[in-house]
Amino acid sequence: MTFVCPRCKGALDTRTGGYACQACVEVFPIVCGIPDFRLLPDPYIGIDEDRRKAERLFARGATCAFPDLLRHYYDVTPEDPSDLAARWIPRALAEPDIARALLVEHGLIGGRPPEGGRCESGDRNGGSRLLDLGCSTGGLLVAAHGGYSELIGVDVALRWLAVGLIRLRDANVAATLVCANAEHLPFADGAFGAVTCTDTLEHLRDAAAGLVEARRVSRAGARLLATANNRVAPMPEPNLHLWGVAQLPRSWQARYVRWRRGDLHPYRIVLRSASELRGMAEAAGYVDVRVGAGAVLAPHVTSGIAPRVLEAYDRARRLPVIAAMLARVGPKLVLTAAATASTPPSP
């Protein structure tokens, strides 16, 4: 994979331990084997602290498996409350299965889709590259293994990418992990044949700019597949499992979360509606933009009534009349679109 400067998109000089842009006078180090092209820090931790934490996690990963390292992460991260960590860990472990079902349904890898879903052979990608924006620990990259000539994952959190290296190692999956801001990608125009972005747009500083960049690095005809939690769904806030957040005006949400959960980071998540997602994708230069009701996938939930409820929901979202309603108020939205050869607007 050839990188460019995330700021000016110019060529980079390769240096021992990193990359340098002479035009911008920027130096980008390699940490734990991961190039760090960030122009802005993760909103929850400074760049230097993030690098140190990534190095400690990567070192520990040399002697343990991914599930143990994932649990260790939360043991050494007290700012993530234990009740939420207990929810997040099983889902993180299930991410390859969740991602595989999503990719099969929307034809980005081969396999048998659920009834009513689309499926095309993985060979349709013609040896193209897949970019996963907000890849976290690389669960989707594991799911996409074998369907593309190259797999590249980008995340702003270097510590999560360091944990992701262990996941990829354990799964025997070859992929390139890159630390960068989604709004400032270090890739050339038209470098990718497909871009995925699962439950990430709501976490970006500037989701509109992130979509512009995703469009820029996509070749003509490249598919975009994104999922997002629906702001107008009559459900608890899905990241924090807290009732009442999304239904408030955005200017009130952070104060409400601080009042309800003073043990959390300041709330910066921006959930969006179907119309907002569609508008951002079209403004970014995408065509054939569709926003519909997405699957609510939770293979890690096996007890109680939840599996039956999720199965019933999945059947219902495939019925045309119900699908139209769920595209407005359902808990999960899926955005698909195609890139064109035209130049997208600048971020």
What residue segments make up the domains of the chain, in order of their start? 38-230+272-290+332-338
What the block records as the tokens of 346 is: 């600048």
Q: Which residues in 125-162 are b (16+ Cβ under 10 Å) and which e?
A: beebbbbbbbbbbbbbbbbbbebbebbbbbbbbbbbbb
Global model pTM greater than 0.95: no
**Cβ atoms of residues 327 and 333 within 8 Å:** yes
- pLDDT, tens digit, for every residue of 218-231? 999 999 999 999 99
Strands 218-229 and 332-338: antiparallel
* Position 329 pLDDT exceeds 60: yes
**Sheet harboring 34-35: ordered strands across?**
13-15, 18-21, 26-31, 34-35
Across residues 11-26, what is the average pLDDT? Answer: 91
**Cβ atoms of residues 143 and 100 within 8 Å:** yes
* Position 121 pLDDT exceeds 80: no
Q: What is the pLDDT of residue 342?
A: 56
Percent of the chain with pLDDT over 90: 84
**Sheet harboring 287-293: ordered strands across?**
176-179, 150-155, 129-133, 192-198, 218-229, 332-338, 287-293
* Position 343 pLDDT exceeds 90: no
**Of 262-266, 284-288, 304-308, 310-314, highest mean pLDDT:** 284-288
Query: What confidence tier does 167 reach under pLDDT thresholds 50, 70, 90?
Result: very high
> What's the topology of domain 38-230+272-290+332-338?
Rossmann fold (3.40.50)
The residues near 324 (Cβ < 8 Å, ≥ 6 apart) are none
DSSP H/E element including 30 = strand 26-31
Q: Among 315, 305, 306, 314, which residue's Cα sits nearest to residue 332? A: 314
Query: What confidence tier does 124 reach under pLDDT thresholds 50, 70, 90?
Result: very low
